[in-house]
Amino acid sequence: MTRAWLIGAGPGDVELMTLKATRALGQADVILVDDLVNPDVLQFARADASIVYVGKRGGHPSTPQEGIVAQMLEHLHAGRSVARLKGGDPFVFGRGGEEQQALHAAGIEVEIISGITAGIAAPAAIGIPVTHRDHAQGVIFVTGHGAGSSEPDWGALAATHMTLVIYMGMRRLNDIVGALLAAGMRADTPCAAIESATRPEQRHALSRLGEFADAVARAGLGSPAIVVIGGVASLALARAAAASSSDTASSPDAK
């Protein structure tokens, strides 16, 4: 029987995929794969499955969304089972909601298989909890990719005093930092940026808001990356400071 899945592949580490996701990949005739998916997860696909790369990444050439939906419908109408494989979770800045709507409009039911979103996994990878009773009553996931009328209301976000986890914000980091400072957010607010989280090439930068954009630039970080702004990031800053002190104390030159 023809089936359709929207599958979250998780933040990058293959072992962070769910068992349900791996089982679904093993049933699909066709797998449409996003650019940010770790290719190693395709080890769970059938040997005879058709793998179609439909990369979507901000700032890079990508397959139009309409083209992706058209491909899904073409295969489904031909009687093939289709898995749409996305990085993170399909319903967190993954356009999974749009694809679900399109399939439903065509009379096709689709199974949603959640994945661990990078907005939680990336901070955790460097020891940052997105909520903490001493630092934040909640967390807000927001895209930094907006422009014009779709620009997030950074003033309103700053006023919540909650953890801000920003997706797709690296290209506009200077503007975002400036808007938060202009809205009254303290310059000493802890911040972190994590690139390629949970993968071997993972890197990060820690700083206070006033120097954050410069610190990220000096570290040479780029996309894909998650930005965390708020008191919870102080836990990573404290750990980094402790590690630095330990290294200094153990140095042969230490007095």
Annotated catalytic residue: which of 72, 162, 168, 185? 168
* Backbone phi, psi, residue 67, to 5°: -70, -35
Question: Strands 190-195 and 82-86, how do they pair?
Answer: unpaired
* Distance set, CA 37 to CA 13, 95, 221 (Å): 10, 15, 19
What's the one-letter identity of residue 131?
Answer: T
Read off φ and ψ for residue 66, nearest 5 degrees: -65, -35
Judge whether 31 and 45 are in contact, CB under 8 Å: yes
Among 162, 115, 113, residue whose Cα is nearest residue 142: 162
Please state, in angstroms and rounded to a whole number, the distance separating the CA atoms of residues 162 and 130.
9
> Active-site residue 168, yes or no?
yes
Q: Which of 17, 56, 72, 86 is catalytic?
A: 56
Compute how many other C-beta atoms are within 10 angstroms of the C-beta atom of residue 90. Answer: 27
User: Which residue's entry shows tokens 């990356």?
Assistant: 225
Choose, from 34, 72, 89, 162, the residue flagged as catalytic.
Answer: 34
Give yes or no for a contact between 227 and 173, defined as CB atoms under 8 angstroms apart: yes
**Looking at the annotation, which residues are catalytic?**
34, 56, 168
